[in-house]
Amino acid sequence: PLQIKAWCEEAARWGLILVAPEDGWRAVLAAADCLIGDHGSVTAYAAAIGVPVLFGALPTRQVMPGSPIARLSELAPQLDPGPLAPQVAQVMATWPREHGMTMQGVLTDTPGESARIIRSLMYELMNLPEPGWAPVPHPAPMPCAVSFDISRYSSVGGAP
């Protein structure tokens, strides 16, 4: 984490907000105009909700054939070493809406039904009657920005 903060410190002065990987990623993803991702699940989730995707890295040896990321790799372009802004603009201008529907179909066969299905299964496993009302999904929590104060760490010994 300290190395990531060090790499991003200058960008933070220009307005970059770094979000802790375990907290807030859903809200950030919902607000994203474009995502530069890797072969992880968040990249597939982004495409499924209609966010244009560029692969920053795609280690093909680590991608299982037939997996959601393998399918997404057929749809999304890979970032090249050229200027970033034109590539982002291009994918945002040309990303077909159908890619989102394709990825939804790869990730689930019942879009929008996970709360109902999971609740039903949990009540069944607990041997309890399920409530008669529909489950209500809660909005993703607001993300907390990661602090960029790395000055408290020495350049030699790491954390105090």
Q: What is the pLDDT of residues 78-134, one digit of tens each?
A: 999 999 999 999 999 999 999 999 999 999 888 788 889 999 999 999 999 999 999
Structure-model confidence comparison of residues 59 and 87, the more confident one: 87
pTM for this prediction: 0.74
Give residue 149's pLDDT: 67
Within 10 angstroms of residue 51's Cβ, the number of other Cβ atoms is 22
Give residue 158's pLDDT: 47
For Cα atoms 151, 154, 160, give the angle at the middle one, nearest 5 degrees. 95
Q: How sure is the predictor about 155, in pLDDT bands with cuts at 50, 70 and 90? A: low
Q: What is the pLDDT of residues 4-57, one digit of tens each?
A: 888 888 888 888 888 877 777 888 888 899 999 999 899 999 999 999 999 998
User: Between the CA of residue 70 and those of 22, 37, 49, 62, what are the distances in Å?
Assistant: 24, 13, 17, 10
